Amino acid sequence: MSDRIRFFLNLTADRYLSHYQGHVKNVSVIAEDGRRIEFPANTLRPFVTKSGVQGRFELLIDDNNRLQRLHRLSH
């Protein structure tokens, strides 16, 4: 059984650049249910725009807390 974790992210292009360059390996956010979650920064690459990464996302993890999928939710 997988767990769905939803969160908002507003990461500027400059902030994401430090993740992209490898200075920071993980992103840490507070989920809508109050949990703090951490996941690899490179997972966000498909969502990067000129202004960074913004939106509401859903992270799916398996029973071993391994990332299965990340996708942006519609507004």
Q: What pLDDT digit, counting tens, does each position of 54-73 carry?
A: 999 999 999 998 999 999 99
* pTM, rounded to two decimals: 0.84
User: What radius of gyration, in Å, describes the C-alpha atoms of the chain?
Assistant: 12
List of E strands, 1-75: 3-12, 26-30, 36-40, 52-61, 67-73
pLDDT value at position 20? 65
The domain 3-73 is placed in CATH, from the list 2.40.10, 3.30.70, 2.40.50, 2.60.40, at 2.40.50
Give 12-36 pLDDT, tens digit per residue: 888 777 766 767 788 899 999 999 9
CB 70 within 8 A of CB 27: no
Bigger pLDDT: 21 vs 47: 47
Domain residues of the chain, as ranges? 3-73
Determine the pLDDT at residue 30.
96
- Contact (Cβ atoms closer than 8 angstroms) between residue 39 and residue 59: yes
- For residue 20 the two structure tokens come to 């992209």
